[in-house]
Amino acid sequence: VIVPIYETGCRGVNQSSVWGCMAAAIWARESSKRPYWPSIVLGILAPEDQSEEWHKALTDRNEQRLPEKLRQELQAGKRKAEQALRRQSTGKAERMSFFLVEFLGTHEFIWVREADIIENFDPDDDPNENIAAGNITKKRKNVRSQGHTPHSARLMQNAIEEGRWAMEEFEMQLNDTCGDISDDEGEGKSNSGGDGEDNYSFEILCESDDEADEEGSDGENGESSDALAVEEEITELLSTEGLLDFSVSGRKKAKQRAAALKKQREEAKKAAKKRELAEKARKKADLERKAKAEVKKKKAEASKLERQRMTEYKKELKELEKRRKKRARDRDRVLKEEERKAKKIKTGITPTKGGRRPGIHDKKGRASSIVNGYLSRLSQRQDLKGLGLSSVMNIPAATIETTGLLGMTLAFRAAAGEIDMPGATGGRANTTRPWEKIDTTKPTSAEERCKALEKQMELLRSAIENHSKKNERRRALINKAEEEKEAKRKKLAIAEKKARRNDLGQRKKSVKKPESAKEEKKPDENGEGKESTGIKVDIVADDEEKK
């Protein structure tokens, strides 16, 4: 009993290209951007809590039936599915199963997610049409490929038919578990119905749609010709009152009547065809007119939206320009106010009775300028040993903090080559030059010694060139530093001179005039003035001469 049951369970379906043993018929898709397609399930990878024993057996059985090259290509998808299951076990991914499916019609194999399938396969209900009908705002193509062609539509229809046949065959296998039900019983039931719907032969099923249409058109033409002959005979009987005239003239008249009737029928067909063409042309013109009206309406709406957008854009530009001008006015007003305040502070203070102003502007800045100028002149006149680093050169390197100011200063001077780099023990670092590592006395042969000497010369030459380049760079930097130092000293001197300038009004010195100077000129009799013998002393304070 077990052997037939196992053999029946291992049977595949005829719709599979590898005679695969199907688990179910479903709608599946490669990704969310592709449409659903009729498929059959040939393998299942489920989480541990959902996995069953027959899942692995079914998957292994169908994978063994696949060609070697195709099975190797599918291993990549299977490994990704297994990695996803491992991530699900750790809680890092959403829990779902994976299925090995075969797309009917195209016979392509792929591993898909549980989110990309629809379990209940209904041949009469296309989920792609439901998705397209539910999504009104977006255009969606409901075919497996990018282009919608009659070939793809026919391929979809064939795939749906294969899915229907696969479901019927799978149901027959489920109903016949042991495989012992005779086929004669099913044939007797189908023939007893008398409908004739299941009486299809292999030749009829192998015919294409074009061949079936041609055979149907031939049958219709034969039936129409027979009906035409009967109609002609009826017309002749009615015209002769039931007496057929078999004479030459009678046959001639009969032929004429038949020709006239045929011509009338052809004209009627032509008129009907003409009306049909006119109706089609009218419908086509209506569709074109509606399409043009729709396009025109869309263009008008688009132009209206564009005008609204441009109006809003210009309005925003005007608002931005207005805000910018307002900010500029505010800035100018603030600058003028600051300038007015500075001018008021500088010149707006009312002097006292003696001519001096009650305060000094920017005392701190002037004092710092005077001190900086004094230090600059002092550094030019003599070398101050106390300000150098000679007092700290004898300090051990281990006691100097590297993050402090002194440590960073010594590091910069050592990097510039002005002082020696200390070693790990605190003294000078034991640095070995690369040419000193070459031993010219150890080789026994003269050729080896010459090669060693040449290598040593090359290293010395490169070191001398690098040293020359560094010296040139140091000289350039020293010249630049000297220029900057001189410019800084000039700037400090100008600032000191400006700070030492006294912008306050000086007092006028009051000098007592002698008694002789108080005498004035007295006019003589002729009206001419006469100079006094006294001396008039006028003392005027000149600020520039005193400065």
Render pLDDT for 116-175 as a digit per residue (tens, 0 to 9): 998 888 888 888 887 765 554 444 444 444 444 556 788 888 888 888 888 888 888 777
Q: Which residues pair with 523 in a beta bridge?
A: 529
Q: Which pLDDT belongs to residue 215?
A: 61
Return the closest-CA partner of residue 26 out of 121, 91, 105, 116.
121
Exposed e or buried b for every residue in 216-247, given b needs 16+ CB within 10 A?
eeeeeeeeeeeeeeeebeeebeeeeeeeeeee
> For the purposes of burial, counting CB atoms within 10 Å of the CB of 143, is it exposed (0-12), middle (13-18) or buried (19 or more)?
middle
Q: Which amino acid is at 63?
A: E
Tokens at residue 490, please?
A: 């000039």
Among 98, 29, 100, 97, which residue's Cα sits nearest to residue 65? 100
Task: Yes or no: say if 100 and 43 are a contact pair by the CB < 8 Å rule.
Answer: yes
Average pLDDT, the chain: 75
DSSP type of residue 435:
G
**Regions of the chain short of the pLDDT cut 70:** 1-9, 132-151, 176-230, 236, 239, 241-246, 346-361, 382-394, 397, 421-431, 502-547
If we measure between CA atoms, which residue out of 368, 377, 362, 350 comes closest to residue 493? 377
Q: For 506-546, what is each residue's pLDDT tens digit?
A: 566 666 666 655 555 445 444 444 444 333 333 333 444 44
Q: Which helix (H) or strand (E) holds 44?
A: strand 37-45
Give CA angle at 486 (481, 490), nearest 5°: 145
Predicted confidence at residue 149, as pLDDT, reads 55
Q: What pLDDT does 484 receive?
A: 92
Question: Residue holding tokens 């396969």?
Answer: 121
